[in-house]
A = this chain, B = another copy of it.
Protein backbone atom coordinates (compact mmCIF):
# COMPACT_ATOMS: atom_id res chain seq x y z
CA UNK A 1 0.00 0.00 0.00
CA UNK A 2 1.37 3.38 -0.99
CA UNK A 3 1.02 5.83 1.86
CA UNK A 4 0.75 9.58 1.40
CA UNK A 5 2.06 11.45 4.44
CA UNK A 6 2.61 15.20 4.48
CA UNK A 7 3.96 17.91 6.72
CA UNK A 8 4.38 21.68 6.48
CA UNK A 9 5.35 24.55 8.78
CA UNK A 10 3.62 27.94 8.63
CA UNK A 11 5.73 31.08 9.05
CA UNK A 12 4.51 31.53 12.65
CA UNK A 13 5.64 28.03 13.60
CA UNK A 14 2.36 26.11 13.36
CA UNK A 15 3.06 22.53 12.24
CA UNK A 16 0.66 20.85 9.82
CA UNK A 17 0.73 17.07 9.40
CA UNK A 18 -1.58 15.05 7.20
CA UNK A 19 -2.33 11.69 5.69
CA UNK A 20 -4.43 11.17 2.59
CA UNK A 21 -6.65 8.08 2.87
CA UNK A 22 -8.54 8.28 -0.42
CA UNK A 23 -10.68 5.18 0.21
CA UNK A 24 -12.44 6.89 3.12
CA UNK A 25 -15.43 9.24 2.92
CA UNK A 26 -14.48 10.94 6.16
CA UNK A 27 -11.88 13.38 7.34
CA UNK A 28 -10.66 13.96 10.89
CA UNK A 29 -8.92 17.16 11.94
CA UNK A 30 -7.36 18.09 15.28
CA UNK A 31 -5.79 21.29 16.60
CA UNK A 32 -3.34 20.61 19.43
CA UNK A 33 -2.36 23.80 21.20
CA UNK A 34 0.35 23.76 23.91
CA UNK A 35 -2.12 25.01 26.54
CA UNK A 36 -1.99 21.98 28.83
CA UNK A 37 -2.29 21.77 32.59
CA UNK A 38 1.48 21.83 33.24
CA UNK A 39 1.03 25.58 32.76
CA UNK A 40 -1.53 25.87 35.58
CA UNK A 41 -0.01 28.40 38.00
CA UNK A 42 0.41 27.13 41.58
CA UNK A 43 -2.91 27.68 43.38
CA UNK A 44 -5.05 27.50 40.23
CA UNK A 45 -4.85 23.79 39.44
CA UNK A 46 -7.56 23.18 36.83
CA UNK A 47 -7.14 26.51 35.02
CA UNK A 48 -6.21 24.86 31.69
CA UNK A 49 -9.32 22.69 31.93
CA UNK A 50 -11.60 25.63 32.73
CA UNK A 51 -9.97 27.61 29.89
CA UNK A 52 -10.50 24.75 27.41
CA UNK A 53 -14.15 24.56 28.44
CA UNK A 54 -14.55 28.35 28.09
CA UNK A 55 -13.09 28.36 24.55
CA UNK A 56 -16.19 26.55 23.30
CA UNK A 57 -18.55 29.03 24.94
CA UNK A 58 -18.63 31.36 21.98
CA UNK A 59 -15.97 32.41 19.44
CA UNK A 60 -15.85 34.98 16.63
CA UNK A 61 -19.41 35.91 15.66
CA UNK A 62 -20.98 32.81 17.27
CA UNK A 63 -22.24 32.62 20.82
CA UNK A 64 -21.87 29.45 22.89
CA UNK A 65 -24.99 27.85 21.55
CA UNK A 66 -24.50 28.82 17.90
CA UNK A 67 -20.98 27.41 17.93
CA UNK A 68 -22.07 23.94 19.00
CA UNK A 69 -25.12 24.01 16.74
CA UNK A 70 -23.07 24.90 13.66
CA UNK A 71 -20.64 22.03 14.32
CA UNK A 72 -23.51 19.62 14.82
CA UNK A 73 -25.40 20.86 11.75
CA UNK A 74 -22.37 19.87 9.67
CA UNK A 75 -22.55 16.40 11.26
CA UNK A 76 -19.20 16.92 12.99
CA UNK A 77 -18.37 14.41 15.72
CA UNK A 78 -16.39 16.91 17.74
CA UNK A 79 -14.58 16.87 21.02
CA UNK A 80 -12.44 19.07 23.21
CA UNK A 81 -9.95 17.88 25.75
CA UNK A 82 -7.08 19.10 27.88
CA UNK A 83 -4.05 16.97 28.78
CA UNK A 84 -0.98 17.86 30.78
CA UNK A 85 0.66 19.28 27.65
CA UNK A 86 -2.09 20.25 25.21
CA UNK A 87 -5.56 21.66 24.76
CA UNK A 88 -7.00 19.80 21.78
CA UNK A 89 -10.01 20.62 19.63
CA UNK A 90 -10.94 17.94 17.14
CA UNK A 91 -13.67 16.75 14.82
CA UNK A 92 -14.49 13.94 12.40
CA UNK A 93 -16.90 14.55 9.55
CA UNK A 94 -17.91 13.64 6.02
CA UNK A 95 -15.09 15.14 3.94
CA UNK A 96 -17.09 17.75 2.01
CA UNK A 97 -17.87 19.66 5.23
CA UNK A 98 -14.23 20.39 6.07
CA UNK A 99 -13.99 23.78 4.27
CA UNK A 100 -16.99 25.11 6.27
CA UNK A 101 -15.75 23.70 9.55
CA UNK A 102 -12.13 24.94 9.53
CA UNK A 103 -13.13 28.62 10.06
CA UNK A 104 -15.12 27.61 13.17
CA UNK A 105 -12.02 25.99 14.68
CA UNK A 106 -9.94 29.04 13.72
CA UNK A 107 -12.41 31.21 15.66
CA UNK A 108 -12.21 28.92 18.70
CA UNK A 109 -8.41 29.19 18.68
CA UNK A 110 -7.98 32.87 17.83
CA UNK A 111 -11.18 34.61 18.82
CA UNK A 112 -12.74 32.84 21.81
CA UNK A 113 -15.21 35.24 23.48
CA UNK A 114 -14.46 33.97 27.02
CA UNK A 115 -17.64 35.65 28.29
CA UNK A 116 -17.61 36.43 32.01
CA UNK A 117 -21.27 35.44 32.44
CA UNK A 118 -20.50 31.88 31.29
CA UNK A 119 -17.67 31.38 33.79
CA UNK A 120 -19.82 30.27 36.78
CA UNK A 121 -21.45 27.48 34.74
CA UNK A 122 -18.11 26.41 33.21
CA UNK A 123 -16.45 26.34 36.63
CA UNK A 124 -19.44 24.50 38.06
CA UNK A 125 -19.15 21.82 35.38
CA UNK A 126 -15.49 21.26 36.19
CA UNK A 127 -16.39 21.08 39.90
CA UNK A 128 -19.16 18.57 39.17
CA UNK A 129 -16.67 16.43 37.29
CA UNK A 130 -14.32 16.56 40.29
CA UNK A 131 -17.17 15.57 42.60
CA UNK A 132 -17.94 12.65 40.29
CA UNK A 133 -14.30 11.52 40.46
CA UNK A 134 -14.72 11.24 44.24
CA UNK A 135 -17.08 8.38 43.39
CA UNK A 136 -14.52 6.74 41.07
CA UNK A 137 -11.85 5.10 43.25
CA UNK A 138 -9.92 3.60 40.30
CA UNK A 139 -9.44 7.10 38.87
CA UNK A 140 -8.46 8.40 42.31
CA UNK A 141 -5.82 5.69 42.78
CA UNK A 142 -4.20 6.43 39.41
CA UNK A 143 -4.32 10.19 40.10
CA UNK A 144 -2.68 9.68 43.51
CA UNK A 145 0.02 7.56 41.86
CA UNK A 146 0.71 10.23 39.25
CA UNK A 147 0.84 12.94 41.85
CA UNK A 148 3.62 11.31 43.90
CA UNK A 149 5.49 9.56 41.09
CA UNK A 150 5.84 12.49 38.69
CA UNK A 151 7.60 15.70 39.71
CA UNK A 152 5.30 18.76 39.84
CA UNK A 153 3.75 20.14 37.65
CA UNK A 154 3.63 16.85 35.71
CA UNK A 155 1.92 14.98 38.50
CA UNK A 156 -0.78 17.57 39.17
CA UNK A 157 -4.32 16.53 38.18
CA UNK A 158 -5.33 18.00 34.82
CA UNK A 159 -8.97 17.89 35.92
CA UNK A 160 -8.14 20.34 38.73
CA UNK A 161 -8.50 20.65 42.50
CA UNK A 162 -11.88 21.83 43.80
CA UNK A 163 -10.61 24.61 46.09
CA UNK A 164 -8.42 25.98 43.28
CA UNK A 165 -11.13 25.77 40.62
CA UNK A 166 -13.54 27.71 42.84
CA UNK A 167 -11.10 30.61 42.93
CA UNK A 168 -10.53 30.87 39.16
CA UNK A 169 -11.51 34.29 37.79
CA UNK A 170 -12.25 35.43 34.26
CA UNK A 171 -8.92 37.30 34.30
CA UNK A 172 -7.15 34.02 35.08
CA UNK A 173 -8.87 32.41 32.09
CA UNK A 174 -8.17 35.29 29.72
CA UNK A 175 -4.55 35.50 30.86
CA UNK A 176 -4.05 31.76 30.37
CA UNK A 177 -5.63 31.71 26.92
CA UNK A 178 -3.60 34.78 25.88
CA UNK A 179 -0.33 33.20 26.97
CA UNK A 180 -0.77 29.58 25.96
CA UNK A 181 -3.33 29.25 23.17
CA UNK A 182 -0.88 30.39 20.53
CA UNK A 183 0.91 29.32 17.35
CA UNK A 184 4.27 28.31 18.87
CA UNK A 185 4.18 24.56 19.44
CA UNK A 186 0.77 24.10 17.84
CA UNK A 187 0.24 20.96 15.75
CA UNK A 188 -2.68 20.69 13.32
CA UNK A 189 -3.27 17.15 12.08
CA UNK A 190 -5.64 15.91 9.40
CA UNK A 191 -6.33 12.48 7.94
CA UNK A 192 -8.84 11.00 5.53
CA UNK A 193 -10.17 12.08 2.16
CA UNK A 194 -8.14 15.29 1.86
CA UNK A 195 -6.52 17.49 -0.75
CA UNK A 196 -3.32 18.33 1.14
CA UNK A 197 -2.35 21.45 -0.79
CA UNK A 198 -5.84 22.85 -0.43
CA UNK A 199 -5.80 22.06 3.31
CA UNK A 200 -2.48 23.85 3.83
CA UNK A 201 -3.73 26.88 1.90
CA UNK A 202 -6.92 27.08 3.94
CA UNK A 203 -5.17 26.71 7.31
CA UNK A 204 -2.53 29.24 6.26
CA UNK A 205 -5.29 31.72 5.35
CA UNK A 206 -6.98 31.16 8.71
CA UNK A 207 -3.99 30.88 11.06
CA UNK A 208 -0.90 31.98 9.11
CA UNK A 209 -1.02 35.64 10.20
CA UNK A 210 -1.48 34.79 13.89
CA UNK A 211 1.63 36.26 15.56
CA UNK A 212 3.72 33.91 17.67
CA UNK A 213 4.61 34.89 21.24
CA UNK A 214 7.39 33.26 23.20
CA UNK A 215 6.36 30.98 26.04
CA UNK A 216 8.07 30.44 29.36
CA UNK A 217 9.72 27.11 30.17
CA UNK A 218 8.09 24.93 32.81
CA UNK A 219 10.00 24.54 36.08
CA UNK A 220 10.07 21.07 37.58
CA UNK A 221 9.66 20.41 41.31
CA UNK A 222 10.45 17.39 43.50
CA UNK A 223 8.61 14.06 43.36
CA UNK A 224 6.66 12.54 46.28
CA UNK A 225 7.17 9.45 48.47
CA UNK A 226 7.49 5.98 46.95
CA UNK A 227 4.79 4.31 49.01
CA UNK A 228 1.42 5.86 49.78
CA UNK A 229 -1.93 4.66 51.12
CA UNK A 230 -5.20 6.53 50.57
CA UNK A 231 -7.81 5.52 53.18
CA UNK A 232 -11.16 4.72 51.53
CA UNK A 233 -14.03 2.95 53.25
CA UNK A 234 -15.02 0.23 50.79
CA UNK A 235 -15.01 -3.53 50.21
CA UNK A 236 -12.71 -2.84 47.26
CA UNK A 237 -9.03 -1.95 47.18
CA UNK A 238 -7.35 -0.27 44.22
CA UNK A 239 -3.64 -0.77 43.58
CA UNK A 240 -1.52 1.39 41.28
CA UNK A 241 2.21 1.03 40.58
CA UNK A 242 4.67 3.01 38.47
CA UNK A 243 8.32 3.10 37.53
CA UNK A 244 10.33 5.02 34.95
CA UNK A 245 10.93 3.73 31.41
CA UNK A 246 12.33 5.41 28.26
CA UNK A 247 10.10 7.97 26.50
CA UNK A 248 8.63 7.25 23.06
CA UNK A 249 11.31 9.23 21.23
CA UNK A 250 14.02 6.97 22.71
CA UNK A 251 14.63 3.91 20.49
CA UNK A 252 14.55 1.65 23.55
CA UNK A 253 10.88 2.56 24.09
CA UNK A 254 10.08 -0.16 21.56
CA UNK A 255 11.61 -2.85 23.78
CA UNK A 256 10.04 -1.27 26.88
CA UNK A 257 6.51 -1.27 25.46
CA UNK A 258 6.91 -4.88 24.32
CA UNK A 259 8.06 -5.94 27.81
CA UNK A 260 5.08 -4.14 29.38
CA UNK A 261 2.67 -5.75 26.91
CA UNK A 262 4.03 -9.18 27.89
CA UNK A 263 3.60 -8.25 31.54
CA UNK A 264 0.05 -6.90 31.41
CA UNK A 265 -1.04 -5.79 27.95
CA UNK A 266 -3.93 -8.12 27.24
CA UNK A 267 -5.70 -11.42 27.82
CA UNK A 268 -2.64 -13.59 27.23
CA UNK A 269 -0.34 -11.36 29.32
CA UNK A 270 1.23 -12.63 32.53
CA UNK A 271 -0.86 -10.41 34.81
CA UNK A 272 -4.06 -11.54 33.14
CA UNK A 273 -3.17 -15.22 33.05
CA UNK A 274 -1.76 -15.47 36.56
CA UNK A 275 -3.84 -12.95 38.52
CA UNK A 276 -7.19 -12.92 36.77
CA UNK A 277 -7.56 -16.27 35.01
CA UNK A 278 -5.69 -18.69 37.23
CA UNK A 279 -6.14 -17.20 40.70
CA UNK A 280 -9.38 -15.28 40.07
CA UNK A 281 -8.00 -12.50 42.28
CA UNK A 282 -9.57 -9.62 40.42
CA UNK A 283 -11.59 -8.56 37.42
CA UNK A 284 -9.29 -5.89 36.07
CA UNK A 285 -5.50 -5.93 36.05
CA UNK A 286 -3.20 -4.30 33.54
CA UNK A 287 0.21 -2.86 32.78
CA UNK A 288 0.69 -0.05 30.30
CA UNK A 289 3.03 2.59 28.96
CA UNK A 290 2.41 6.32 29.43
CA UNK A 291 4.79 8.70 27.74
CA UNK A 292 5.49 12.41 27.79
CA UNK A 293 8.09 13.92 25.48
CA UNK A 294 10.95 13.76 27.98
CA UNK A 295 10.01 10.95 30.33
CA UNK A 296 7.72 7.93 30.47
CA UNK A 297 6.26 5.59 33.04
CA UNK A 298 5.19 2.00 33.28
CA UNK A 299 1.82 2.08 35.06
CA UNK A 300 0.13 -1.01 36.52
CA UNK A 301 -3.35 -1.13 37.99
CA UNK A 302 -5.61 -3.62 39.70
CA UNK A 303 -8.98 -3.29 41.42
CA UNK A 304 -9.78 -6.14 43.80
CA UNK A 305 -11.55 -6.96 47.05
CA UNK A 306 -10.01 -5.82 50.34
CA UNK A 307 -9.35 -9.45 51.38
CA UNK A 308 -7.48 -10.28 48.18
CA UNK A 309 -5.59 -7.01 47.85
CA UNK A 310 -2.40 -8.09 49.62
CA UNK A 311 -2.12 -11.28 47.55
CA UNK A 312 -2.85 -9.32 44.37
CA UNK A 313 -0.08 -6.83 45.13
CA UNK A 314 2.31 -9.65 46.06
CA UNK A 315 1.68 -11.45 42.76
CA UNK A 316 1.93 -8.22 40.73
CA UNK A 317 5.32 -7.45 42.29
CA UNK A 318 6.48 -11.04 41.83
CA UNK A 319 5.52 -10.97 38.13
CA UNK A 320 7.32 -7.63 37.65
CA UNK A 321 10.42 -8.99 39.39
CA UNK A 322 10.30 -12.22 37.36
CA UNK A 323 10.21 -10.42 33.99
CA UNK A 324 13.98 -10.07 33.24
CA UNK A 325 15.46 -13.29 31.85
CA UNK A 326 12.16 -15.08 31.20
CA UNK A 327 10.72 -13.60 27.97
CA UNK A 328 9.70 -16.40 25.59
CA UNK A 329 9.70 -16.11 21.79
CA UNK A 330 6.02 -17.13 21.78
CA UNK A 331 4.85 -14.35 24.04
CA UNK A 332 6.89 -11.76 22.17
CA UNK A 333 5.48 -13.18 18.92
CA UNK A 334 1.93 -12.59 20.16
CA UNK A 335 2.72 -9.03 21.18
CA UNK A 336 4.21 -8.35 17.75
CA UNK A 337 1.25 -9.95 15.96
CA UNK A 338 -1.24 -7.85 17.91
CA UNK A 339 0.72 -4.63 17.43
CA UNK A 340 1.14 -5.15 13.68
CA UNK A 341 -2.51 -6.05 13.29
CA UNK A 342 -3.43 -2.90 15.24
CA UNK A 343 -1.22 -0.73 13.02
CA UNK A 344 -2.80 -2.12 9.86
CA UNK A 345 -6.33 -1.62 11.17
CA UNK A 346 -5.51 1.91 12.35
CA UNK A 347 -5.14 2.82 8.66
CA UNK A 348 -8.91 2.40 8.35
CA UNK A 349 -9.82 5.20 10.77
CA UNK A 350 -9.28 8.85 9.89
CA UNK A 351 -9.58 9.86 13.57
CA UNK A 352 -7.04 7.24 14.69
CA UNK A 353 -4.58 8.32 11.99
CA UNK A 354 -5.01 12.03 12.73
CA UNK A 355 -4.22 11.25 16.37
CA UNK A 356 -1.26 9.01 15.55
CA UNK A 357 0.54 11.41 13.21
CA UNK A 358 0.07 14.33 15.64
CA UNK A 359 1.62 12.22 18.43
CA UNK A 360 4.51 11.17 16.19
CA UNK A 361 5.33 14.73 15.28
CA UNK A 362 5.12 15.91 18.87
CA UNK A 363 7.41 13.16 20.15
CA UNK A 364 9.76 12.66 17.18
CA UNK A 365 9.54 15.81 15.07
CA UNK A 366 8.85 13.61 12.03
CA UNK A 367 6.40 11.01 10.70
CA UNK A 368 6.99 7.28 10.35
CA UNK A 369 5.39 5.37 7.50
CA UNK A 370 3.37 2.24 8.17
CA UNK A 371 6.13 0.27 6.42
CA UNK A 372 8.72 1.73 8.81
CA UNK A 373 6.54 0.95 11.82
CA UNK A 374 5.98 -2.64 10.70
CA UNK A 375 9.68 -3.05 9.97
CA UNK A 376 10.54 -1.90 13.52
CA UNK A 377 8.34 -4.71 14.83
CA UNK A 378 9.99 -7.21 12.48
CA UNK A 379 13.37 -6.29 13.97
CA UNK A 380 12.15 -6.61 17.58
CA UNK A 381 13.46 -9.85 19.12
CA UNK A 382 13.82 -11.57 22.50
CA UNK A 383 17.51 -10.68 22.71
CA UNK A 384 16.67 -6.99 22.32
CA UNK A 385 13.92 -7.02 24.95
CA UNK A 386 16.06 -9.03 27.37
CA UNK A 387 19.01 -6.73 26.71
CA UNK A 388 16.90 -3.73 27.63
CA UNK A 389 15.51 -5.45 30.74
CA UNK A 390 19.04 -6.38 31.86
CA UNK A 391 20.11 -2.77 31.40
CA UNK A 392 17.04 -1.20 32.98
CA UNK A 393 15.20 -3.74 35.14
CA UNK A 394 12.05 -2.43 36.86
CA UNK A 395 13.18 -0.59 40.01
CA UNK A 396 12.30 2.33 42.28
CA UNK A 397 8.62 1.43 42.11
CA UNK A 398 6.01 3.85 43.38
CA UNK A 399 3.17 1.92 45.06
CA UNK A 400 -0.24 3.42 45.83
CA UNK A 401 -3.13 1.61 47.48
CA UNK A 402 -6.61 3.05 47.98
CA UNK A 403 -8.89 1.12 50.30
CA UNK A 404 -9.63 0.16 53.88
CA UNK A 405 -6.19 -1.01 55.00
CA UNK A 406 -2.63 -0.15 53.95
CA UNK A 407 -0.79 -2.95 52.14
CA UNK A 408 2.66 -4.25 52.85
CA UNK A 409 5.12 -3.81 49.98
CA UNK A 410 7.04 -7.09 50.21
CA UNK A 411 9.29 -6.44 47.34
CA UNK A 412 12.09 -8.39 45.71
CA UNK A 413 12.54 -5.36 43.46
CA UNK A 414 15.24 -2.85 44.48
CA UNK A 415 13.65 0.38 45.76
Quote the shortest CB–CB distance from A67 to chain B (angstroms).
Answer: 10
B268–A121 CB distance below 8 A: no
Binding site for B on A (CB under 8 A): 1, 23-26, 57, 64-65, 68-69, 72-78, 92-94, 120-125, 128-129, 131-132, 134-138, 234-236, 266-268, 273, 276-284, 303-305, 308, 330, 333-334, 337-338, 340-342, 344-345, 347-350
Chain B residues with CB under 8 Å of A25's CB are: 1, 344-345, 347-348
Contact A72 B348 (CB under 8 A): no
Partner of A337, one of B75, B236, B341, B345: B75
Contact of A129 among B73, B277, B283 (CB under 8 A): B283
Cβ–Cβ contact B65 & A125, under 8 A: no
Name the B residues within 8 Å of A277 (CB-CB): 57, 64, 121, 125
CA distance A305 to B133 in the complex (A): 11
Instruction: Tell me whether A23 and B23 are in contact in the complex, defined as CB-CB below 8 angstroms, given that A128-B281, A135-B137, A236-B135 are known contacts.
Output: yes
Contacts of A342 in B (CB 8 A): 75, 77
- Measured CB to CB, the closest approach of chain B to A345, in angstroms, equals 5
Nearest CB in chain B to that of A138: its residue: B135
Kindly provide the distance from the CB of A68 to the nearest chain B CB, expressed in whole angstroms: 5
The interface residues of chain B lying within 8 Å CB-to-CB of A24 are: 23, 348
Q: In chain B, what residue has the closest Cβ to A64?
A: B277
Given contacts A347-B25, A349-B349, contact A273 B65 (CB under 8 A): yes
Closest beta carbon of chain B to A13's beta carbon, Å: 31
**In the complex, which residues of chain B have a beta carbon less than 8 angstroms from the beta carbon of A305?**
128, 131
| Complex Cα spacing A338 to B69, Å | 11
Partner of A304, one of B68, B128, B282, B303: B128
Q: Would A283 and B132 be within 8 Å (CB), given that A77-B345, A341-B77, A348-B350 are in contact?
A: yes
- Which of A129, A268, A276 counts the most chain B CB atoms within 10 A? A268
Whether the pair A77, B278 counts as a contact (CB closer than 8 A) is no
Which of A23, A64, A123, A128: most chain B CB closer than 10 A?
A: A128
Enumerate chain B residues within 8 angstroms of A57, measured Cβ to Cβ: 277
